Amino acid sequence: MKSAVIVFPASNCDRDAAVALEQMTGRKPHMVWHQECDLPDVDLVVLPGGFSYGDYLRSGAMAGQSAVMRAVKAHAKKGGAVLGICNGFQVLTESHLLPGALMRNAGLKFVCRPVTMAVEETQNVFTRKYLHGQQVTFPVAHGDGNYFADEETLNRLEGEGRVVFRYAPGQNPNGSSRDIAGILSEKRNVLGLMPHPERVVDPLLGGTDGRGLFESLIETLS
């Protein structure tokens, strides 16, 4: 599987994503600066976590206007896989590759801790190696992770099986609507989630629950 990680100003999880991808695939991903207008020939594009542009205006708002996002949209339009993690999820909503918005955490505080989620949907390229209903624990680290969408959009996401991860009861760290932690695009090839799977692929870092996501991508895209 060939991959690329987009690097925005103030990204701070781009290297985490690159290390996880190299560890899982055996090959280094392309690191693509946000001002590039083209992407290399890859199967997967990762929008990493961090604080792109210092979260100026809104988290992900300025990154969503970066030159490289035109290429990311074209990649998604032709069916290529796109994974947005934390700030990457925010960029995906700001660029309208995913519906809804990520708002300030309900408690108005930055949250950094492991959270448990249920895998709600496995019929996609990102989670096919998990079991439906399986509980996994990923870390979160965000101040603007409160997923919001209107009732019509939320009902459509639920009805179309596009809610992929949902915080377990009592685990919602940010007040997200319906405990939603991650969603798919209509074509099911774009995934945005707030928790960090790339930080739980190596047991030395305290867990391996994130490996299933990368194993799913490798099995499907290689």
Indicate the domain borders of the chain.
3-221
Is residue 30 part of the annotated active site? The answer reads no
Phi first, then psi, for residue 49 (nearest 5°) are: -80, 170
pLDDT in tens, 3-38: 999 999 989 999 999 999 999 999 999 999 999 999
Least confident of 50-54, 81-85, 114-118, 163-167: 50-54
Query: Can you give the pLDDT at residue 143?
Result: 94
Assigned token pair, 178: 């319906």
Q: Which fold, 3-221?
A: Rossmann fold (3.40.50)
Whether residue 112 has pLDDT greater than 80: yes
- What is the Cα–Cα distance from 29 to 46, expressed in whole angstroms? 10
Residue 167 pairs in a beta bridge with 117
- Select from 94, 93, 31, 36 the least CA-distant residue to 68: 36
The per-residue pLDDT for 57 is 73
Alpha-carbon distance of 135 to 115, in angstroms, equals 10
E-state strands within the chain: 3-7, 30-33, 44-47, 81-85, 101-103, 111-119, 135-142, 146-148, 163-167, 180-184, 190-193
pLDDT surpassing 90 at residue 65:
no
Q: Is the pLDDT of residue 178 over 80?
A: yes
Could you tell me which of 50, 49, 94, 41 has the C-alpha nearest to residue 69? 94
Between CA 175 and CA 221 the distance in angstroms is 34
Among 94, 120, 121, 198, the active-site one is 198
Q: Is the pLDDT of residue 174 over 80?
A: yes
Residue tagged active-site, from 13, 75, 86, 94: 86
pLDDT at 53 over 90: no
Is 96 catalytic? The answer is: no
**pLDDT (0 to 100) of residue 58:** 78
Residues 144, 148, 154, 156: is their CA dihedral positive or negative?
A: negative
Residue of 34, 75, 142, 196 marked catalytic: 196
Q: Could you give the strand order of the β-sheet that contains 163-167, starting from the edge strand earlier in sequence? A: 30-33, 3-7, 44-47, 81-85, 190-193, 180-184, 163-167, 111-119, 135-142
pLDDT-derived band of residue 56, with 50, 70 and 90 as boundaries?
confident
Residue with tokens 């490996």: 211
Residue 60 pLDDT grade (very low, low, confident, very high; cuts 50, 70, 90): confident
Note the pTM of the prediction, 2 decimals.
Answer: 0.96
CA angle (49 as vertex; 46, 54 as ends), nearest 5: 125
Active site residue 198: yes
**Section 129-140 average pLDDT:** 98
pLDDT (tens digit per residue) in 181-200: 999 999 999 999 999 999 99
